Amino acid sequence: MKYQSIATVASAALITVLLGQAQLAASQEIPIFNTVKQKLGAGERVVGVTVATPDPDIYCAVANAGFDFVWIEMQHSPLTFAEAARMIWACRDAPAVPFIRVPGPTEGDIQKAADIGALGIIVPMVDSVAEIRDAVQFAHYPPLGTRSQGGGQYRGLYGDGYRAAANENIMVVAMIESPTGVEVAEAVANVEGVDVVFVASSDLGSFTGLPQGHPEYEAHVTRVKNATLGAGRGLGGPLAWMTTRPEYNFFQAPSTTSLVSSGARGVLEAADPCYGVASGVSPVEGEDPCP
């Protein structure tokens, strides 16, 4: 009986220790605050609006409009990191999370983008495996990468636990824009730390001189698609492909200037279906012509 009591006590103590360890592990689970990563992991499709203006009001308007992320355009705009930081901070509680297309895959650009709060690093013109491998390194803290700690507003945006959770939340998007990039697409997609491979449809047409639908153009697109899906990565493209290419799940929507223009037309047409329509022309077939 004495030995049984000792064994019972020991078993109870062991169970208590194990339960305590399990509770500690649960409390130390890494938070995922990148909702784009969560949605892609759940099999959903995500859409990001393109912002190239430094106006925080415009940023906040689109960040709260229903998009999943904001594609802050720094490759083809004069935006500075200081301006991008102000926009991100101005709408720090918006549901759309900030992604930045950096000017280039350099350590300085990627470090600054992450420090001001970007949860997605969009890398343009990926033509070599070395480029994207370096980008992944610059975007992640050790032991996964070589990102150094410094100043920035990331802690104010995501809390004191940011350093421990950053590697699980930062996403890297590799853009394939040329035939050279297509050639290395499979190797790029298989780089650990790449989350999405994006087909830059317009630039691919520019570099090849071919329109969408041309067999050679589509062969390039198919090659990137197969490589990306084969590696289990997200597959990106323009929003126009959402209804025509079901394999894609990461989309770039038009710019804010385009949205303002289309929104203005919508408001005017809602007020007067004949607004801007020449007299005697029916805006919808079968309806009475506009007076």
Residue that has been written with the tokens 């853009």 in this structure = 175
CA distance 231 to 164: 27
Sequence-ordered strand ranges (E) for the chain: 46-51, 69-73, 97-101, 120-123, 171-176, 196-199, 234-238, 250-255
CA distance 115 to 125: 22
String of DSSP letters for 115-170: HTT-SEEEE----SHHHHHHHHHHHS-TTT--PPP---SHHHHH-TTHHHHHHHH-
Is the separation of the CB atoms in 129 and 102 below 8 Å? Answer: no
Q: Name the β-bridge partners of 101.
A: 73, 122
What is the SS3 assignment for 206?
Answer: helix
Cis peptide before 78 (omega within 30 of 0): no
- The closest alpha carbon to 33, from 112, 90, 124, 95, belongs to 95
Q: Name the β-bridge partners of 99.
A: 71, 120
140 is a catalytic site residue = no
Catalytic residues: 76
